[in-house]
Amino acid sequence: MNSDWQKLADLWYRKREVYPAQWADDPDRLHLCVVAGAPYGGPVATVRDEHVFQPVKGSLRTELQIWTSAGRLIQSAPWAHTGLLAMGWSAQETLVCVFESGLVRTFTVMCEPLHVFTVDERIMSEGGAIAAALWPNGIALLTRKFNIFVNTSLTRSEDACQRFADFKVPSAPLSLCVLPPPSEESADVQVIVGTSEGPVLMVDRHSCRDIGLTEGPFMAFALSSSGRLLACLSTKGVFKVLAVSDNLQVLDVANIVDTIKKPKQMVWCGDDCIALYLIAQTPSNSLQHILFVGGPQNDWIPYQYDAPLHLVSECDGCRVLGTNKIEFVQRVPPSVEQVFGIGSVDPPAMLCYALERYESGDVCAQESLRPIKLELPDAVSTCIDAALCEQPPHSSNLLRAASFGRHFLSDTLEPDRHREACKNLRICVELRKSPVEIPITAAQLEKLGIAGLSLRLAQRHFHLLATRICEWTGHSEEKVLYHWACEKIRHSTAYTDEQLCQIILSKFQHCPGIGYAEVARVAAEMVRTVLATSLLNHEPRSHAQVQVLVQLSQEGDEKNREIMLRIALDKAARSWDPDLIHLALSAASGGGICKRGADIQTVARLVKERSFDLQVISDMVTSILSKAEQFDRARMLCDQLDRKRPAAYCALQRIYRQANYEERMKLLRFSKDLFAISDPTATDAEKTSMQFASQACAEEIDLLRAQVSLEDQAAAKHWKGNTRFAGLSLTSTLIRLIEIGEVLEADNLRTQMKVSDKRYWRIKIRGLSNASNFEELNAFATHRTSPIGYELFIDTFLKHGRNDFALALVPQIKGAEQQAQYYLRMGMAEEAQRARSQGQERSGAGRLLNMLGVGR
């Protein structure tokens, strides 16, 4: 039973055959190709290696081929690209191919191209890339000028691309290794560089430091799948293990003297040991393929092969893809060791033995259980653990042993765990079979999760199996359905849009929160407009809705464009979301409403159709254009929408930007005319307001003319003081005139502009007071009867301490109390008393004044 176990240091290891390889027809395939195997029992991609001399065999056409783990071809596609630098699989199980030019192409597992992007244009200018390192969510590239570019996405570059700090080295580094960011969102990547001079550098965006690893140079690095351990192999055959989280501290050192050549592959076998794949030349000039497994305490198990291999690191072991068979190397799990270890009398082993006895009809089977009565719960639990690491029939025996032991327990022990173990095992067993051929282990399944698994199955077009697994495990099948719908739209050309929509909706209706918009986008890509719009109507997220509609509007003919824009504008207006409105608008105007060639006409036409519902849109356009100071266009838009009043105000705004007198006059006249146009749809209030505005413009024209002529006079007659008048308000102009002593001009202007008596008096008092011209003010007060009373005069005099002038005016004041107040303010209590005795009571004050009265 345990004959295939081998001891390494003090731990047991085993290597088991998983499948006989189905690709044995070409024994050199793995040698002649660039190979990339996906973890979690995933597929293997091969493409011809340009750097290896290729014997002519069969077709000369290069193909990208993707195989199952058992070596059965899934799909192939012609391969016309050159300069492949590295190939690997992303976390979503898409194939990532990195080229020397810095170009990245990704493919689905069905060999369909997905994304193409260039990491950075600077890579080409630096002579291309010479090395690449991939991790499941990104790429690091080393250029010929020894700069590192890191892209933290496998779907785009742009903001994901970072150039790392310079590390100046004279010659090409031997190897690269990426320490991925701690979480998917973070961009905190570090790259380990093994320089050919010896030191090992850790580089990130800002800095580069020597991690102080001696006995270099190091030619190979490997990061364990948990990301905790980093293995390093030097050209001198020194092997070191570093702890990543613990500041790259050296944990273990081993000397493998005979390995000086760079190994073909060095990968981790779980977190336990290292698998080294070397190719050695035998004296008879044939190649020998040697796999070393080991590391701890410098103990190594060699395996020899006569055909090439490819190693895939898994979280609990290492898959060895051989030309003739697929094997799995792993450390024997402790639970299995307890059950199946030679001569093991541990409780779990005893439990299994008891079951064996019981099943063979031994009436004394219970005796085997009696000595382990106390350890029985642990034994049951260990049996479940062991079952998870085994294949049928062992696994089912172990599960049976566990349930057998359970009978002898008084309280139920972890029923959920038992059930889940059964469930996971069943999934693993089913997936291992043809045609799926995914040899995933229970431990790997645990790490990947059902969601990850179902996505992988969906991508391999096992949608039904994926949904069944989701249903069975109680997970959402949303992602599977989404993938299914996209594939359905892409590949089923026979259905009409309506039929397809029906099919998709019938599947989607039980799945809330599914991304209708994303599916609609795919439909749009396939030029299925009707399908896309009808799917979009089911989308609850307006952001997704409008974005897709906008995208749709950029395709197809003019008619289609307009339909889409109409819906997009409508949805955007309904959402009230300013960003969506902007998005829809810039689509409708052909990219940015403020741009020079913006298509305002279309916007106007679309809005006009339903001007009431789309009021918010027209308001937004007007305000955007006004903010960008494009008043003419704003005015034209309003004109087209028959909104006369806003149009006139847009024109008005231009006036203020024009500092030139004559230009301003022209614009003023233009505005005046615009305001004078009567709008039959306007309300009475609006009409009155427009009329007023027109008159106001006319008055401003008169005023400006008068001001300019005043300025001319000022220049001609050398008036003193500030003689800038243009742009001032009428009142300010009058005051300034009075201030500089040109009272006569002020009087003239006042007559010309028809300023009422009352106002002009107030203005004049203020002007004279500002100029401290009190004699003139006094003359003004006594010259004629004031239309505004004398309070203002007296207040002004008092403020400036001219009590002499003030006193004379007090008797002119109506109301005895007021007179008294003024007397009091001048400190004349007697007169006040006299005035008051003549007067009467003050009339009742209101709410607010009463309050103040109380407050005093």
Q: Which of residues 320-339 bind another protein (CB under 8 A)?
A: none
Cβ atoms of 91 and 101 closer than 8 Å = no
DSSP 781: H
Q: What is the rounded (10 degree) CA torsion for 684, 689, 693, 696?
A: 110
Cβ atoms of 379 and 335 closer than 8 Å = no
Rounded Cα gap, residues 406 and 355, in angstroms: 12
Between 372 and 445, CB nearer to another protein: 445
Helices marked H in 322-369: 334-340, 347-359, 365-369
Applying CB under 8 A, does 715 fall inside the site for another protein?
yes
Between 680 and 855, CB nearer to another protein: 855
Applying CB under 8 A, does 118 fall inside the site for another protein?
no
DSSP 816: H
Applying CB under 8 A, does 657 fall inside the site for another protein?
yes
Half-sphere exposure of residue 525: CA atoms within 13 angstroms, side-chain side: 11
Considering the complex, what minimum distance in angstroms separates the CB of residue 740 from another protein? 15
Instruction: Return the SS3 of 465.
Output: helix
Site string for another protein, 782-801 (x = CB under 8 A): ------x-------------
Cβ atoms of 356 and 382 closer than 8 Å = no
By residue count, the chain amounts to 856
Between 123 and 274, CB nearer to another protein: 123
Between 423 and 834, CB nearer to another protein: 423
Between 615 and 812, CB nearer to another protein: 615
Q: What is the rounded (10 degree) CA torsion for 827, 833, 834, 840?
A: 130
Tokens describing residue 271: 């977190």
Applying CB under 8 A, does 766 fall inside the site for another protein?
yes
Q: Which is nearest to 160 in space by CA: 193, 120, 199, 108?
A: 120
DSSP 2: -
Interface of this chain with another protein, residues 371 to 390, rule: CB under 8 A: none
Between 308 and 515, CB nearer to another protein: 515
- Out of 392, 435, 540, 721, point to the residue binding another protein (CB under 8 A): 540
Applying CB under 8 A, does 642 fall inside the site for another protein?
no
Between 356 and 446, CB nearer to another protein: 446
Cβ atoms of 786 and 761 closer than 8 Å = yes
Considering the complex, what minimum distance in angstroms separates the CB of residue 644 from another protein? 13
Interface of this chain with another protein, residues 136 to 165, rule: CB under 8 A: 158-159
Considering the complex, what minimum distance in angstroms separates the CB of residue 742 from another protein? 16
Applying CB under 8 A, does 689 fall inside the site for another protein?
yes
Rounded Cα gap, residues 351 and 212, in angstroms: 52
- Please provide the distance, in angstroms rounded to a whole number, between the alpha carbons at the two ends of the chain: 106
Applying CB under 8 A, does 727 fall inside the site for another protein?
yes
What are the distances in angstroms from CA 319 to CA 69, 127, 389, 428, 844?
Answer: 9, 36, 15, 16, 101
Considering the complex, what minimum distance in angstroms separates the CB of residue 430 from another protein? 14
Interface of this chain with another protein, residues 407 to 436, rule: CB under 8 A: 416, 419-420, 423-424
Considering the complex, what minimum distance in angstroms separates the CB of residue 168 from another protein? 17
Between 31 and 664, CB nearer to another protein: 664
Site string for another protein, 619-638 (x = CB under 8 A): xx-xx---x-x---------
By rule CB under 8 A, what count of residues binds another protein?
104
Q: What is the rounded (10 degree) CA torsion for 269, 273, 278, 280?
A: -140
Considering the complex, what minimum distance in angstroms separates the CB of residue 606 from another protein? 17
Between 66 and 552, CB nearer to another protein: 552
DSSP 845: P
Between 290 and 728, CB nearer to another protein: 728
Considering the complex, what minimum distance in angstroms separates the CB of residue 181 from another protein? 12
- Out of 142, 520, 522, 583, point to the residue binding another protein (CB under 8 A): 583
Between 11 and 788, CB nearer to another protein: 788
Rounded Cα gap, residues 192 and 240, in angstroms: 14
Between 602 and 731, CB nearer to another protein: 731
Rounded Cα gap, residues 116 and 26, in angstroms: 31
Considering the complex, what minimum distance in angstroms separates the CB of residue 418 from another protein? 11
Interface of this chain with another protein, residues 462 to 521, rule: CB under 8 A: 471-476, 478, 511-513
Applying CB under 8 A, does 724 fall inside the site for another protein?
yes
Stretch that binds another protein, among 322-330, 370-378, 380-388, 660-668 (CB under 8 A): 660-668
Tokens describing residue 783: 């010259």
What is the greatest pairwise CA distance in the chain?
Answer: 140
Considering the complex, what minimum distance in angstroms separates the CB of residue 834 from another protein? 23
Applying CB under 8 A, does 253 fall inside the site for another protein?
no
Angle between helices 442-459 and 463-473 (to 10 degrees): 130
Sequence-distant (6+) residues with CB within 8 A of 157 are 104, 117, 118, 119, 120, 151
Considering the complex, what minimum distance in angstroms separates the CB of residue 770 from another protein? 11
- What residues does 429 pair with on adjacent strands? none
Applying CB under 8 A, does 579 fall inside the site for another protein?
yes
Cβ atoms of 149 and 136 closer than 8 Å = no
Applying CB under 8 A, does 656 fall inside the site for another protein?
yes
- Out of 335, 707, 778, 819, point to the residue binding another protein (CB under 8 A): 707
